[in-house]
Amino acid sequence: MRKPLEACGLLLALFLVAALRGAVAAVPPPPAIAAKAYVLVDFHTGKVLAAQNEHERMEPASLTKLMTAYTVYKALGDGAVKLTDAVRVSEHAWRTGGAGSGGSTTMLPINSSAPLEVMLKGMIIQSGNDASIALAEHVSGSEEAFSDLMNRHAKELGMTDSHFVNATGLPHPDHYTSAADIAKVSRAIIAGFPEHYSWYAEKDYVFNGIRQGNRNLLLYRDPTVDGIKTGHTQSAGYCLAASAKRGETRMISVVMAMANEEARAKGSLELLNYGFRFYETRRLAEAGKPLAEARVWKGAAEKVALGVASDVWVTLPRAEAEQVRSAVEAPRDLEAPLTTSSTVGRLRITLGSETLAEPALVPLVAVAEGSLWRQAVDTVLLWFE
């Protein structure tokens, strides 16, 4: 039998081990970022990992051009415009965003024209105000009408803190957004338009014989960073939406109203590194991959594979990621007809006693009703089930 002192020592040792394990598992607070507002989100799940004043309405400066680009991408997807369209530079676009305007510009001559793809790259890489306005006028006839379209798309994306009155981000009392909303449109661009997102990683662009560099300093400092957009006006301060991908995990950071170009780059990278260091994103189920099989009665096929309609991701502190469990909850028997949108069960994803997600299970192929003979036979067989 242990002496009382010995037993106390053992209990204390066990307590210290448990405490140390808890300390390792705990996620420390995010780094102190000298931004008026910031947010760090996981791309796949949209989970907010760090934030400060993320819903406060603020001047976006050229972060506006993310919404401008999204609106143009939607028009491309709808077939309303094409990358090969000749986009004209109006007097308004030239005077407001041209070489003499004092803002960022693609150096487009008045009344000239260039392919829409060139204009997009000028806006994305060089942050050209003239290119932004020319694109807006080409898509909607006027910058004002284009702004209405921007606001419509913003509403569809759930950007509840935003209102846009121009395509450039030039200061206006009714032109505002938030760090959270910029993260939303950033996610939408990366997810919905990967063929265009690659342009955000380009470090420079030459137009009309003039080479201009991308102002996103992180593109030159971290090879995992592949975007997204800088912004600056005297009243808005220095802003940056950034994204990096390491392994399967992608993070998006947004910092707003920082003191200078170096501060926004340093703060953004600190946020991204914090996310990758302490969190992990895992794909627990892949769209179209069989997770279970069910017997189909009265159908053209006797069996059907079950799975999820879209990839299922979870974002967790690294210390907890190994403890996640998933279980299929679905009947063994189903009855035709079945479509690929028929909910026939759930995939329950848990961490301890907490349910993290319950995506629907669906048939991976449609199963039509079988022949009259098949239906008759299965009706009889079901009597004995």
Q: Which positions are annotated as active-site residues?
A: 62, 65, 127
Q: For residue 100, give Cα distances in angstroms to 34, 94, 119, 129, 249.
A: 33, 8, 18, 11, 43
* Pairing label, strands 48-52, 37-42: antiparallel
Q: Which of 205, 215, 133 is CA-nearest to residue 169?
A: 133
Specify whether the CB–CB gap between 257 and 56 falls below 8 A: no
Mind spelling out the 3-state secondary structure of the chain? CCCHHHHHHHHHHHHHHHHHHHHHHCCCCCCCCCCCEEEEEECCCCCEEEEECCCCCECCHHHHHHHHHHHHHHHHHHCCCCCCCEEECCHHHHHHHCCCCCCCCCCCCCCCEEEHHHHHHHHHHCCCHHHHHHHHHHHHCCHHHHHHHHHHHHHHCCCCCCECCCCCCCCCCCCEECHHHHHHHHHHHHHHCHHHHHHHHCCEEEECCEEEECCCCHHHHCCCEEEEEEEEECCCEEEEEEEEEECCEEEEEEEEEECCHHHHHHHHHHHHHHHHHHEEEEEEECCCCCCEEEEEECECCCEEEEECCCCEEEEEEHHHHCCEEEEEECCCEEECCECCCCCCEEEEEEECCEEEECCEEEECCCECECCHHHHHHHHHHHHCC
Phi/psi of residue 265, nearest 5 degrees: -70, -45
Tokens of 299: 């159908």
Q: Which of 220, 224, 244, 240 is CA-nearest to residue 232?
A: 240
